[in-house]
Structure 1
C-alpha cells in the first residue's frame, strides 16, 4: 500500500514529512495549456524578460520584443517565432489551512486532518524545491499560526506536526474561517492561494472577504471527506469531541440522512464559491495526497 495513503499514526513526525520531499520532487509538471491559461478578470499577464522561465514559443506578433525572437526556430521554419516568459514573482502563493475538530476523524486510511497536513507538507516541499515563496496561515484547535516571510520548510513542518496531534479535536475550534481578517491575506494580490479546509459554512461578512480575496488572486479550494462515514454498519458507536465522549446509535436511515445533509450543504457551498470565482474540488480520503497535489499542479496552483 502507498505509504502516504495510510500512515502508521495520525500524529505525523519528522520522518513522515521527510518522505513527502521525495514525492514532491517527482510530481512532474503541469501541461503548458493549463499552466498559462487565464480566466476572465485575472490580473496576471505573460511578461517577457531575461532570466525568467520560458512559457511557450509562438509566432511573432508586432508587439513582441525583438530581443526575444528565437532565430533558430525562425530559420528552420521560415516564420518568425517569439519566446514568452513568466515573471518570477508570479510564483508566490499563500497556503491557508483551517481544520475543525471534526477533521480529526476517519473510518479508514487516515484522519481527514492527516490528509490535509500531508498535502500541506507536499506544497511546502514543492515550493522549496522550485524556489517559490510560500506564506501561510494554519488554523487548528484554538490556534492560528501565520508566516509573512519565506522561512525554512522545517519551521513550517514544526507547526504541521503540532496540528497533527489528536488532542486538537478536544478543543472547541474556531467557528469563523481561520484566515478571516488575517494579516497574511490583507494585502494579497496576484498570488496563487490554496485553501485547505473541511469547513462548509461561513457568514455573509466572511463571504465578502472571500470575494475580495478572489478578486485579486487565483484561489483554489480543496476539501476532503470520508464517504465511508456514511456507510457504517448499524450499531452503537463511541465518538469523542471537545464535549467529551458520547454514544451514538447509527441506523441505515440516520446514515442516509447524514449523507444527504452533507451533500446538500456542500452544493450550497460550491455555489457560493462559484459566484465569486473560487475553484472548489472535493476529494475522498481514499485519494492519496500526491494525487491531490498533482491536481493542484494541473490547475496551475503549483509548478
Structure 2
C-alpha cells in the first residue's frame, strides 16, 4: 500500500472509530473494565461505619482521635488486543472483508483505552507470534497500531490461537484485559484459554461471515 493511500486509510479509520468510541463505548468501557488495584489517597477522621482495619494508628496516636486511611481505585489498566492475521481473515461477502471488521473493532477498543488513560498493546498472531507491540499510552501510539492493523503482512497463513494465549500469559505479568479478535477457525485452544483467563480478563470477539455457514442459492 502506498504511503499516501495508507495515511488516508488511517485517517478514515481514526475518524470513524473515534466517533464510535466516544458515543458507544465510553460509559460501558469505564464501568466494565475499571481498574482493580487500590491506592492510598488521604486520611480523615473516623466516622461511624468505617472499617476499623483502615485505621491509621500513627495518625490516631498523634491526634489522640481515630483516623482512617482513604483509598481510591487505580483506574489505569493494560489492555491487550490479540489479532488473528491468518489467511482466513481475507474473506468477506457482506460489504467488507473480515480483516476490515477486525481493524475497526480493534481501533474502537484502542481509542476507548486511551480515553480511559490505559495502556494498549497488540499481539499479531497466525500459527506463531507474528508481532508484539508493547503496551503504551497516547495518540501517537494508537495511530501506530492502526497503521499496523491496516498494512501488516504476516509470514504464515494458518492459525494457532493457543500459541497466542500462551504468549499473552507469559509476556504480560500484570493482570490485564485481553481481547482475542479472531474468526476462531482453529481447534485445541480451550486449555490455554482457561489458563490465560485465570491470570487476565479475556474477552473473545468472534468475527464471521454468513457465507461460511450458508451456501448461496446458485442453482446446479
Taking structure 1 as the reference length, the TM-score comes to 0.52
What is the aligned counterpart of 1:14 among 10, 25, 42? 10
Deviations 1:255-280 (A, max 9, x none): xxxxxxxxxxxxxxxxxxxxxxxxxx
Match of 1:263 in 2: none
Number of residues of Structure 1 aligned to a counterpart in Structure 2:
190
Match of 1:175 in 2: 159
Q: Which moved more, 1:210-219 or 1:27-36?
A: 27-36
CA RMSD of aligned residues (A): 3.6
Match runs of 1:1-303 below 5 Å: 13-19=9-15, 20-27=17-24, 28-30=26-28, 45=36, 47=38, 49-50=40-41, 60-63=49-52, 65=54, 85-89=72-76, 91-139=77-125, 144-150=130-136, 152-163=141-152, 173-177=157-161, 179-182=164-167, 185-203=170-188, 206-235=189-218
Deviations 1:218-259 (A, max 9, x none): 111110212355444333xxxxxxxxxxxxxx87xxxxxxxx
Query: Which structure 2 residue ranges, 5 or more long, are not aligned?
Result: 1-7, 43-47, 57-68
**How many Å apart are 1:102 and its aligned residue?**
1.9
Query: Partner of 1:154: helix, strand, or coil?
Result: helix
Equivalent pair of 1:135/1:184 in contact (CA under 8 Å): no
Match of 1:287 in 2: none
Give the Cα separation in 2 of the matches to 1:160 and 1:31.
Answer: 22
Give the Cα separation in 2 of the matches to 1:126 and 1:35.
Answer: 10
Give the Cα separation in 2 of the matches to 1:31 and 1:146.
Answer: 24
Equivalent pair of 1:188/1:217 in contact (CA under 8 Å): no
Query: Which structure 1 residue ranges, 5 or more long, are not aligned?
Result: 1-11, 37-43, 52-58, 68-81, 236-249, 252-303
**How many Å apart are 1:196 and its aligned residue?**
0.6
**How many Å apart are 1:134 and its aligned residue?**
0.9
Bigger proportion of residues as helix: 2
Give the Cα separation in 2 of the matches to 1:141 and 1:46.
Answer: 34
User: Greater relative contact order: 1 or 2 (C-alpha under 8 angstroms, separation 6 or more)?
Assistant: 1
Deviations 1:15-61 (A, max 9, x none): 2222112221222302987566xxxxxxx85625339xxxxxxx944
Query: Partner of 1:174: helix, strand, or coil?
Result: coil
Equivalent pair of 2:38/2:74 in contact (CA under 8 Å): yes
Query: Partner of 1:88: helix, strand, or coil?
Result: coil
Give the Cα separation in 2 of the matches to 1:33 and 1:147.
Answer: 26
Taking structure 2 as the reference length, the TM-score comes to 0.68
